[in-house]
Structure 1
Amino acid sequence: MSYLEKLFAAVDDYFIEKLVEKDPIFDQILANNQKHQLPPHDVSPSQGKFLYLLARIKGAKRILEIGTLGGYSTLWFAKALDKEGQVISLEFDKKHAEVASENLALAGVSAKTTILIGPASDSLKSMVKDQTPPFDLIFIDADKENNSVYLDYALQLARSGTIIIGDNVVRDGAVIDQNSIDSRVLGVRSFVDDLSTSSKLTSTAIETVGVKGYDGFTISIVE
């Protein structure tokens, strides 16, 4: 780890210590994810708190999460909702969904969370077909190759004022590599192109450094 990487992580740890409330359930979730050998792709505590604050600022009642993993970010969203709120999370991997369900039950938020198992594009297509009520906030954090597909469906499940967040868009700076052959980078670049040309969205990006390395979010609002 380079000097800057150590510095970024140390500063992130400082803000986490000062600004992210201690809640043992988040540590339990990460430990449970590790026990079940889930990949360590969860958002960091400070990023989770950021998502929580966005949901609170928005006054979100309905949240759609594309990509559940072990439910770490799902819990942050659930904590931002009142008892009538709902998070619907889409997860391709059955094992990941089972671990996430266990984690969310331990956290006591099962009543506010629903996990749909299977390809996200299939779940999204069904939701559009069934005229699912629009969401207040949509978090796209699944396979980057399909980000543009997810954005298209997200717009169909949104309304004016809906916030759409795309995760992992910087990828250690690889997003600016026009010659990349990495399908994840290509997916993110296509996604950003879609954001830039959409007449329905106003967007920006926030770069992040810290315990999760160099990455970032896009944040958009539906006009």
Structure 2
Amino acid sequence: MKIGILGCGLMGGKLGVLFARAGHEVMFSYSRRQAKLDDLVRRGGATARSGTPAQAVAEAAVILLAVHWSRLDDVLAQAGNLDGKTVVTCCVPLSDDDSALVVGHSDSGAEQIARKLPGARVAAAFQTTPSEVFAEVFAARERAVKASCVYCSDDPEAGRAAAQLLEIIGFEPVDAGALRNARYTEPFALLTAQLAYGTGNGPEWAYRFGRFDTLVG
């Protein structure tokens, strides 16, 4: 799969490296420092490259949108036309200091992104798990019991792409339904962040959802 990464912070950088290590073609883009892009390419290996946001969009089958909410309009402007593209967003609509949601209750960041990209297929995934645990989930991806991660979308193709990206990392994808359900998953992301960064127990938190009979055997 050809994957374009728009945004190379904690989420985009770590996921992109793991996608590349799994053998997928990855193009990293949108960083203030070329040195950071170069480092991600080095860590990703032979299937990783860097480029501009427009190049990442043009060449990708799936685009991972992974920027801070304050940078959303800027990266989309640099990305160019996304009509017909499949976009998986892991953005959470946070305030500048990351302390609170700036969208919620009657709308979601994912829905706002879909409205900004009316010609694209949009799904939301990855927001509900701290980035610090991605490498551990990836290392355990062959185990029978996996950590869960929810995703949602109004478009079946985008939903399948989100599920596939989650599976590459090693998660068990959990279909949370329509994109409007990001109104619930985005606040849940703040709960997992509080567990990861506010409890003193370290950030390597994950969760598992399932019917009770499947959880207890």
TM-score interval, normalised by the smaller of the two chains = 0.3 to 0.5
Larger RCO: 1 or 2 (CA < 8 Å, sep 6+): 1
TM-score between both structures, scaled by the size of structure 1: 0.42
TM-score between both structures, scaled by the size of structure 2: 0.43
